[in-house]
Amino acid sequence: MERFTRSQILRLANIFDNAGQVLLATVVLPQLLSREPYISDPKRTTMGIVSTIAAWWVSLRFERIGTA
C-alpha cells in the first residue's frame, strides 16, 4: 500500500519547486544585486544558492517518483 498517491507526490514536487523559486528571489538575488556592503554577505549568498539547488533537487526527485 502506498503512503502517498501520485497526485500528492506531484503536488509535493510543485511545492518544493515553488520553495526554490522563493529562496532564489528572497535570499540570493538581493545579495547579488545589492550595492550596499553590509547587505551583501558571501556566506548568506552561498547558503541561499545551496538551499535553492537543494529544494529544486528534491522537487525533481519527487517529480520522477510521481511519474514513474
Question: Looking at residue 33, what is its pLDDT?
Answer: 85
Question: Looking at residue 31, what is its pLDDT?
Answer: 84
Question: Looking at residue 39, what is its pLDDT?
Answer: 67
pTM, to two decimals: 0.85
Whether 45 maps to a domain, the answer reads yes
Range of the domain at 39: 6-67
Rounded to an integer, what distance in angstroms lies between the CA atom of residue 34 and that of residue 32? 6
Per-residue pLDDT of the chain in tens (68 residues, 90 and over written 9): 578 999 999 999 999 999 999 999 999 988 888 877 766 778 888 999 999 999 999 999 999 999 98
Whether 1 maps to a domain, the answer reads no
Give me the half-sphere count of Cα atoms (radius 13 Å) on the Cβ side of residue 19. Answer: 17
Contact 18, 42 (CB under 8 A): no
Q: Is residue 63 classed exposed, middle or buried when 0-12, 13-18 and 19+ CB atoms within 10 A define those classes?
A: middle
Rounded to an integer, what distance in angstroms lies between the CA atom of residue 49 and that of residue 21? 11
Rounded to an integer, what distance in angstroms lies between the CA atom of residue 67 and that of residue 25? 28
Number of domains in the chain: 1
